[in-house]
Amino acid sequence: MTVESWTPAGPALLFCPADRPERYLKALDRADMVILDLEDAVAPVNKAAAREALVANPVHPDRVIVRINPAGTEDHELDLAAVQATPYRVLMQAKVEEPSQIAHLPTIALIETPMGALRVEEIVAAPNCIGLMWGAEDLVAGLGGTSSRFGVGEPYAGEYRDVARHVRSRVRLAAGAYSKAAIDAVHIDIADVDGLVAEVQDAVALGFTATACIHPSQAAHIRDGYAPAPERVEWATRVLQGAVVYDGGVFQLDGQMIDGPVLAQARAVLSRAGVTR
């Protein structure tokens, strides 16, 4: 694996507390990859036990990401030492704020502080950065705010506030500029299936690589959202067939002008469908 080529095993990435090893395989059964979490999902008093469980219970290293604590904390160095004793080699690092903080292993940088958001273009260029994810709640907390979303009774209830949307957009653009993986944030309202589905649809439309989740029930909705509908696969197939007939030139299909950008979108559809062209 190189930092330029890493992609997750699928679009549904499920967080699992590292101090709950009895859940590791169950989580893998429900999602494409599991993020074994040594940070927020683990109480401070259980951090050492979480690292011990991580080392003692290895599972499917090609489908595991380990989230470690932020650089500069005592747990950060202890986390790195624990990971080195496992077969896992893909990290997600919390609260990255500058390129020098990226670990020496392939790392997904989690952009969830104001400083990290301002420096995201520098962070994604770090040699060991293989992708970006963003986090809304830590971001807003770091601003002294109380909620990343509009509340009940407000216009656009349930949707992200402008600052959160801005950071999401910057993360997506930075990852795209460097051709690295872009992972969308978790939807913390587990009961809000419609909201999750809408966010996944938007993530797919913007070319996100995957979406993280916090509950097994969310994984199926994410997978379904990233899988293109059969009619979209059929459309994309005809687009690329037409491109061959017209030797890459502009042509019309079903009343739509097909040019370079539309060809690229058709290839993206087939890529998500697992069709190689």
Domain residues of the chain, as ranges?
12-226, 230-272
Section 242-270 average pLDDT: 82
| More confident position, 265 or 196 | 196
163 and 175 in contact (C-beta within 8 Å)? no
High-pLDDT (> 90) share of the chain, % = 79
Predicted confidence at residue 245, as pLDDT, reads 81
Residues making up the annotated binding site for substrate are 67, 112
Predicted confidence at residue 240, as pLDDT, reads 84
Closest CA to 210 of 242, 172, 238: 172
Residues making up the annotated binding site for Mg(2+) are 112, 138
Q: Using 50, 70 and 90 to split pLDDT, how confident is the model at 270?
A: confident
pLDDT at 275 over 60: no
Gap between the Cα atoms of 109 and 155, Å rounded: 32
**pLDDT tens digits, 73-118:** 999 999 999 999 999 999 999 999 999 999 899 999 999 999 999 9
Predicted confidence at residue 4, as pLDDT, reads 56
Pair of tokens at residue 255? 């009343």
Predicted confidence at residue 243, as pLDDT, reads 80
Gap between the Cα atoms of 206 and 169, Å rounded: 9
Predicted confidence at residue 273, as pLDDT, reads 76
Task: Say which residues have a Cβ less than 8 Å from residue 236's Cβ, sequence separation at least 6.
Answer: 228, 265, 266, 267, 269, 270, 273
Residues making up the annotated binding site are 67, 112, 138
Gap between the Cα atoms of 13 and 32, Å rounded: 6
Predicted confidence at residue 231, as pLDDT, reads 80
Q: Does domain 12-226 have CATH number 3.40.50.2300?
A: no
pLDDT at 246 over 80: no
**pLDDT tens digits, 6-53:** 999 999 999 999 999 999 999 999 999 999 999 999 999 999 999 999
Predicted confidence at residue 263, as pLDDT, reads 82
High-pLDDT (> 70) share of the chain, % = 97
Q: What does pLDDT average to over the chain?
A: 93
Task: Name the pTM for this structure.
Answer: 0.88
DSSP structure string for 59-112 = --GGGEEEEEPPTTSHHHHHHHHHHHTSS---EEETT--SGGGS-SS-EEEEE-
Closest CA to 51 of 31, 33, 36: 36
Section 173-177 average pLDDT: 98
DSSP-assigned letter for residue 45: G
pLDDT at 268 over 90: no
102 and 76 in contact (C-beta within 8 Å)? no
pLDDT at 274 over 80: no
Question: Do strands 251-253 and 256-258 pair parallel, antiparallel, or not at all (unpaired)?
Answer: antiparallel
**pLDDT tens digits, 106-160:** 999 999 999 999 999 999 999 999 999 999 999 999 999 999 999 999 999 999 9
Pair of tokens at residue 7? 């992609």
Gap between the Cα atoms of 39 and 30, Å rounded: 22
Section 157-183 average pLDDT: 97
